[in-house]
Amino acid sequence: MNAASGAKFIGFGVLTWLLPFLLAIPFYSQEGEPLYDIFLIKSVLLVFSAALGTFLIVVYFRGVRTRFVREGALLGGVWLLINWALDAALLLPLSGMDAGT
């Protein structure tokens, strides 16, 4: 993996968390209360996140020429860890919950 593909690998993982987070902001009040039905919000975010993830995977795999299964497993694992880390670092403090909750 060269530096450009490594940056894409990590950068796309961050985007899978950041863009749905930014999309969610208008759906909540400043106090953190949902402005619309929570199931509508979750549905919109789920569809958006799935489409975004699919798009980013397709773009990433355009540059992959060998070891597709290995690359896909690594990609999924790293993106999952990135999303968990960003959730723990940003969403837990914003929600006022501890990690156990």
Q: Residues 41-49: what's their mean pLDDT? A: 98
Distance CA 65, CA 72 (A): 12
CB 16 within 8 A of CB 52: yes
pLDDT at position 5 is 75
18-35 pLDDT per residue, tens: 999 999 999 999 888 999
pLDDT tens, residue by residue, 60-75: 999 888 999 999 999 9
Angle (CA) 83 2 67, round 5°: 75
User: What pTM value is reported for the model?
Assistant: 0.86
DSSP codes of every residue in 43-98: HHHHHHHHHHHHHHHHHHHTT--S-HHHHHHHHHHHHHHHHHHHIIIIIHHHHT--
Strand, helix or coil for residue 4: helix
